[in-house]
Amino acid sequence: MIKRLAKYTLLILILGGIALAIYGWHLSVQVEKRFSTRRWSIPSTVYSDTTLLYPGQRMNSSLFSATLSNLGYRRVNSVPSQKGEIRIRTQALDIFLNDLKTPWTERTGFLAQIDFSEDRIGTIRRKDNGETIPILELEPEEIMQFFGQERERRQLISIEQIPEHQIQAVLAAEDHRFFEHHGVDWRGILRAMMTNLRHGAVRQGGSTLTQQLAKNYFLTPERTFIRKLKELILAVIIEFRYGKREILEIYLNEIYLGQKGSVAINGIGEASYFYFGKPVKRLTLSEAATIAGLIKAPNNYSPYRNMARCQSRRDKVLQAMHRWEWITQTELEDALKQPINAVGFKAADKKAPYFIDYLTEQLNSLYRSEDLSSLGLSIYTTLDTQVQMAAEEALTKGLAGLESSNPELQRTAPEDKLQGAVVVMQPKTGHILALAGGRNYSVSQFNRITQARRQPGSAFKPIVYLSSLAQFTPTTLLSNDPKSYTVNGKQWDPQNFEPVTEYTVSLQDALKKSHNLATVDLAMKTGLDRVVDIAAKFHFSTPLKPYPSLALGAFEVIPLELARAYCVFAAEGVQPFPLSLKGVVDENDRILEHQHLNIERIIPPAEAFIMNSMLQGVVKEGTARSLQWRGVTWPVAGKTGTTNDFRDAWFVGYTPDILALVWVGFDNGDPIKATGAAAALPIWADLMNAIPQYRSETQFNIPRGVEKILVCPVTGRPAVDGCPEPVEVYFLTGHTPGGHCPLHAEDGIAGKIIKGVRGLINDD
């Protein structure tokens, strides 16, 4: 009986051993598979464009200060001694630059001094050698991350980047015998059991770092005997297959160390920036002990939750480091005296959310959403955060001002409120510097810049006038008389916005003052089919039909496409593709995507210049002349737009370097009871006044194929001595009006009258 029992027992042990060996082999395969492939899902990070600073550049001090704050620069009262510190002085800024690394440039941080003269940068120079710097580039700003379900932030670091006192602090806090055991510390387990029995509660754990790593990587947090057994087996396997420093490196990149809103902070690398705003290698002994102390219960010991508990926990870690002879008595005393100066944080608001949505659309054509949330890509965009802040502020202020001045525009429900949208672009590159697709993203995610279809009204007229340049000139006379037109068997009677007394106007004056009747007359003389054909070159995706009402912007367009159309004028006849993405870099700094400029010649440079000249007239003397008393005194071209019943208000304005479109209206089409000049133009002016770094005194380039002639303002023909106040007008070469002014020449009517009057005077 005993022999049989022993035989069965031996058999059970053998089978159990075999089963355990098979299970261990299975776990070993899991460990190898996980550790030999991608160990973590790293969210891809989206960055703004870099910020360029140069002598002579105008500055908006409040927006510049916001940029420095968003980049994590910290103000100090003495000369900055560490990267990320700034000192603000009267008319000067000392800044210890952070390192800069993008796909196109790399620079180590250094101490610089920026001198200011009123609202301009005076000089920029290095503090170490006094060398002047022609252009200084600030690092891009983090805009958002593409998180997966885990929503973890992690900045991977190698063990070589971690200072010895940080490693020792972690070991002192969690596993001081790490380099002595083989994954399981039986002595530690027994000590923890005795402590817990003595106190009648769980006061101490016996898990090693390797066991913690096994639990975090492969197991659930449930507390059961089976899970604990798996943890022990996994820890032994991990120790058998990998070296101590490699295990430690994985652990230090994996460990959970706190919470930023809904996002988990994992790893020493990320925690170092989250709590102290610096890389791990620059952590002091006190700071290293603080982070190590968080491992036990990050949200309980966080300096952002309870500073007293945090400091007490740090002190215990420091004392443990001294007990294990990793720091001296002097080092202990000095570190204990140090205050815990956490840099502070605020839960990240969504930055430029409408821009990010548009960017995501472009990225989705290149990457799967699961790749964006796991591959750790660095995504560099065209966004200028200062322009974005200015656009959002100008839009908010402008819409609130309209509601305040006209209570009929006020709505109670947030989703019914007056809306607006702004896009800012570089016309030559298509780079989108800012995009606000609505008033409040949390209320409505509908992007009115890229998704809305609205009638452009008079903002479409430049396309009509461009279409006529092959047949007519800026001084061609048009009929401003009321006329009726038949469209699909129905009579259509267009009207001017305001009653006029000029029944014949020049082409340039018709555009300048936005005369509807003269514009329709021009479209009919040019040919509606030609207007549609020219408009098609501008890549409007909405259908345009050859109806007379086309001339007045009766057909819907997408605002971004209208802004892109105006880029053609500003960019000397070429049209760019609207870009939000500049480049994508993988976690090994390899460039995966580099967006090249995609531009297309639409019209000759000479025609673009003629349009610029006439649209400058709109700003100087036409419907947009109020810009001048709103502080816009530099060369600007643009056009207002207002649709029937005041449903839409537009202003598109541009210089050779920057273009912005503003739209205001209700989503449901209710009238806003204001014109483009009254509703959209003030928002545009506030935006441009807030970004003086983009203000340019540059005139539009005069290309070949353009002639400037002095003409009579009455007849539009080349002026003679008798013409009153002749004006300079640009014409396409070969399209200049012939002869001379027939009215004021000697043999003209006015000339004969003057000659007769002179004769009577002489007779007397």
- What contacts 584, CB < 8 A, 6 or more positions away? 366, 367, 377, 378, 379, 380, 591, 592, 593
Answer for the pair 396, 682: CB distance below 8 angstroms, yes or no. no
Per-residue pLDDT tens over the stretch 614-657: 999 999 999 999 999 999 999 999 999 999 889 999 999 999 99
pLDDT (tens digit, 9 = 90+) per residue, 117-131?
888 999 999 999 999
CA-CA distance, 745 to 740, in Å (whole number)?
A: 7
Whether residue 538 has pLDDT greater than 70 = yes
> How far is residue 332 CA from its own chain's centroid?
46
pLDDT at position 487 is 75
Q: List Cα–Cα distances, 39 to 221, 229, 244, 369, 637, in angstroms.
A: 19, 23, 17, 19, 55
pLDDT at residue number 761? 40
Task: Find where tokens 């003052």 sit.
Answer: 513
Among 22-36, 119-133, 686-700, where is mean pLDDT lowest? 22-36
pLDDT at 15 over 70: no
3 state SS for 107-159: ECCCEEEEEEECCEEEEEEECCCCCECCCEEECCCEEEEECCCCCEEECCCCH
- Residue 201 — very low, low, confident or very high, per pLDDT cuts 50/70/90? very low
Q: Phi/psi class of residue 631: alpha, beta or left (left: φ > 0; alpha: ψ in -120 to 50)?
A: left
Residue 8 pLDDT greater than 80, yes or no = no
Instruction: Quickly state the pLDDT bin for 30 (edges 50, 70, 90).
Output: low
Of the pLDDT bands very low, low, confident and very high (cuts 50, 70, 90), residue 598 is confident
Using 50, 70 and 90 to split pLDDT, how confident is the model at 755?
very low
State pLDDT tens for residues 45-72. Answer: 999 999 999 999 999 999 999 999 999 8
Q: What is the fold of 149-337?
A: Penicillin binding protein transpeptidase fold (1.10.3810)
- What band does 764 get if pLDDT is binned at 50, 70 and 90? very low
What's the pLDDT score for residue 464? 98
pLDDT of the residue at 42: 80
State the average pLDDT over residues 438-455.
Answer: 95
Is residue 318 within 8 A of residue 289, CB to CB? The reply is yes
| Percent of the chain that is helix, strand, coil (3-state, to 5) | 40, 20, 40
Evaluate if residue 175 carries a pLDDT over 60: yes
pLDDT digits (tens, 9 = 90+) for 176-194: 888 888 767 666 566 655 6
Give the model confidence (pLDDT) of 72-93 as tens digits.
Answer: 899 999 999 999 999 999 899 9
Q: List the catalytic residues.
A: 174, 458
CA dist 247 and 245 (Å) reads 5
Q: Give CA–CA dist 624/685, Å, rounded.
A: 11
pTM of the model: 0.84
CA distance linking residue 390 with residue 694, whole number of Å: 12
pLDDT digits (tens, 9 = 90+) for 544-581: 999 999 999 999 999 999 999 999 999 999 999 999 99
Does position 19 have pLDDT exceeding 60, yes or no?
Answer: no
Q: Which residues contact 372 (CB under 8 A, 6 or more apart)?
A: 43, 44, 146, 363
Q: Are 316 and 310 in contact (CB under 8 A)?
A: no
Report in angstroms the alpha-carbon separations of 305 from 297, 298, 302, 310, 423: 12, 10, 5, 8, 40
φ, ψ at 380 (rounded to 5°): -100, 130
DSSP state at residue 331: H
Which CATH topology does 390-456+556-694 take? Beta-lactamase (3.40.710)
Instruction: Identify the weakest region by mean pLDDT among 10-19, 464-473, 696-705.
Output: 10-19
Q: Is the pLDDT of residue 149 over 80?
A: no
* Cα Rg of the chain (Å, integer): 36
Per-residue pLDDT at 354: 96
Assign 649 to helix, strand or coil: strand
Q: For the segment 324-358, what is each residue's pLDDT rounded down to a tens digit? A: 999 999 999 999 999 999 988 766 667 999 999 99
Q: Give the separation between CA 750 and CA 32, rounded to whole angstroms.
A: 99
Residue 479 confidence class, pLDDT cut points 50, 70, 90: very high
Q: Is residue 751's pLDDT more than 90?
A: no
- pLDDT band at residue 756 under the 50/70/90 scheme: very low
Average pLDDT of the chain to the nearest whole number:
87
Which residues lie closer than 8 Å to 600 by C-beta, 6 or more apart?
A: 574, 575
Task: Return all residues near 518 (Cβ < 8 A) that are at least 6 apart.
Answer: 478, 479, 480, 505, 507, 510
Highest CATH level, class, for 45-146? alpha beta
Please give the Cα distance from 201 to 763 (Å, whole number).
Answer: 128
Look at residue 491 in the predicted model and tell me its pLDDT.
Answer: 84
Q: Which of 43-57, 309-323, 745-759 has the lowest mean pLDDT?
A: 745-759
pLDDT digits 0-9 by tens, 702-741: 999 999 999 888 888 889 888 888 889 999 998 888 788 8
Q: CB–CB of 557/456 below 8 Å? A: yes
Phi, psi of 118 (to 5 degrees): 60, -120
385-394: pLDDT as tens digits = 999 999 999 9
Q: Is 661 helix (H, G, I), strand (E, B) or coil?
A: strand
Sole residue written with tokens 């972690």: 170
Which of 386, 381, 388 is closest to 64 using CA atoms? Answer: 386
- Match 């659930």 to its residue by tokens: 220
Both tokens assigned to 483: 């006329």
**pLDDT value of residue 693:** 94
Are the beta carbons of 661 and 394 closer than 8 angstroms?
A: no
Q: Give mean pLDDT, residues 679-687.
A: 98
